[in-house]
């Protein structure tokens, strides 16, 4: 939250500086917008998004300040708020699981993004809400992946499925989903591989697992601190699996917030949760407006 607060702080300062100016003219507004753009770029928001935001705000301000006696400060403040909200809101809500109606949710993301940890957090969150979640480990690539999921699941008392012998992730995913459908789990969570090398092969694997398990929702998990790489990474996953929601992890660390904006833009999907620590309950529902309000102080 530390670094995120810096972004909010810089934007708020830019707005405050404008408020201190006696006359809010073109020059003052341009300076304010430049300050805000600089803050966003420093927070790893993609250059094109920053440029679009700047011109959107300019347009709103130009239009609305035509009205006699309009309060330009208020207009620009509201424009910044709503632009940030728009950037984080793709305009359509994601699929949400319903109790007692079986859903399959598949998790994708690079190794180290926090995917396995997040699968358990997501399962635990829904268990607390009265769901009967279950976890399937379809990561046959990383040695120790199944053990990690098993440990997490056991601690949280969540049924799990996986194999030490089987090397075909599609087979495990299908078997796991079948097993838990029979056991009347209403939220079957499929964890997948995230190896860094051979990305084409990874994306092909994601496509196959998705095709075989027909998930109701694919969640893309992204490390919030990866910076400018966020947009391309999110975009690549969006193309191989039909990503419908995003979870940003490690928001307690060096995340600057820009990654979240880029992931939403690249996947056209909403952020639904953020990870704020290693522990199973360090997991927060993500809501756009309160997030932006908090960001801007």
Interface residue with ligand GDP among 93, 278, 281, 285 (CB under 6 A) is 278
Minimum distance between the CB of residue 223 and ligand GDP, rounded to whole angstroms? 8
Q: State both tokens at 115.
A: 């995917």
Minimum distance between the CB of residue 253 and ligand GDP, rounded to whole angstroms? 5
What track of x and - describes contact with ligand GDP for positions 233 through 252 (by CB under 6 A)? ----------------xx-x
Is residue 192 within the footprint of ligand GDP (CB under 6 A)?
no
Minimum distance between the CB of residue 111 and ligand GDP, rounded to whole angstroms? 4
Backbone angles phi, psi at 130, to 5 degrees: 100, 5
Size of the site for ligand GDP (CB under 6 A): 17
**Which residues in 155-233 belong to E strands, given as ranges?**
160-161, 187-192, 217-223
Alpha-carbon distances, residue 239 vs 151, 220, 234, 262 (angstroms): 32, 12, 9, 15
**104-143: contacts with ligand GDP (CB under 6 A):** 109, 111-117
Which of 65, 111 has the CB closer to ligand GDP?
A: 111
Cβ-based neighbours of 105, under 8 Å, separated by 6 or more: 97, 122, 187, 188, 189, 190, 215, 216, 217, 218, 219
Which of 109, 176 has the CB closer to ligand GDP?
A: 109
Minimum distance between the CB of residue 135 and ligand GDP, rounded to whole angstroms? 12
Which of 53, 222 has the CB closer to ligand GDP?
A: 222
Q: How many residues does the chain have?
A: 297
Whether 88 and 260 have beta carbons less than 8 Å apart is answered as yes
- Region binding ligand GDP by CB under 6 A among candidate stretches 1-9, 35-43, 63-71, 273-281: 273-281
Which candidate, 155, 152, 142, 226, places its Cα nearest to that of 189?
A: 152
Whether 158 and 135 have beta carbons less than 8 Å apart is answered as yes
What track of x and - describes contact with ligand GDP for positions 250 through 269 (by CB under 6 A)? x-xx----------------
Distance CA(54)–CA(69), nearest Å, equals 23
Give the footprint of ligand GDP on this chain (CB under 6 A).
109, 111-117, 194, 249-250, 252-253, 275-278
């Amino acid at each position: 939250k530390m670094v995120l607060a810096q972004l909010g702080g810089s934007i708020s300062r830019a707005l405050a500086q404008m408020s201190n100016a006696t006359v809010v003219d073109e020059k003052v507004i341009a300076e304010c917008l430049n300050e805000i753009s600089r803050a966003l770029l420093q927070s790893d928001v993609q250059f094109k998004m920053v440029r679009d935001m700047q011109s959107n705000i300019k347009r709103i301000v130009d239009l609305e300040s035509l009205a006699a006696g309009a309060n330009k400060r208020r207009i620009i403040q509201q424009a910044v708020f709503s632009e940030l909200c728009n950037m984080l809101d793709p305009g359509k809500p994601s699929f949400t699981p319903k109790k007692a109606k079986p859903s399959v949710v598949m998790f994708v993301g690079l190794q180290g993004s926090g995917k396995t940890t997040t699968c358990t957090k997501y399962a635990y969150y829904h268990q607390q809400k009265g769901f009967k979640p279950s976890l399937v480990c379809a990561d046959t690539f990383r040695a120790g992946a199944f053990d990690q999921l098993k440990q997490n699941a056991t601690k949280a008392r969540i049924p799990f499925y996986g194999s030490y012998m089987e090397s075909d992730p599609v087979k495990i995913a299908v078997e796991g989903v079948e097993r838990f459908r029979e056991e009347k789990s209403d939220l079957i969570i499929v964890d997948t591989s995230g190896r860094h090398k051979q990305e084409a092969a990874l994306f092909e694997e994601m496509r196959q697992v998705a095709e075989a398990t027909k998930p109701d929702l694919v969640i893309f998990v992204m490390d919030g601190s990866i910076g400018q790489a966020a947009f391309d990474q999110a975009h690549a996953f969006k193309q191989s699996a039909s990503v419908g929601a995003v979870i940003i992890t490690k928001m307690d660390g060096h995340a600057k917030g820009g990654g979240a904006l880029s992931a939403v833009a690249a996947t056209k999907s909403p952020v639904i949760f953020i990870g704020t620590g290693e522990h199973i309950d360090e997991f927060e529902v993500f809501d756009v407006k309160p997030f932006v309000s908090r960001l801007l102080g």
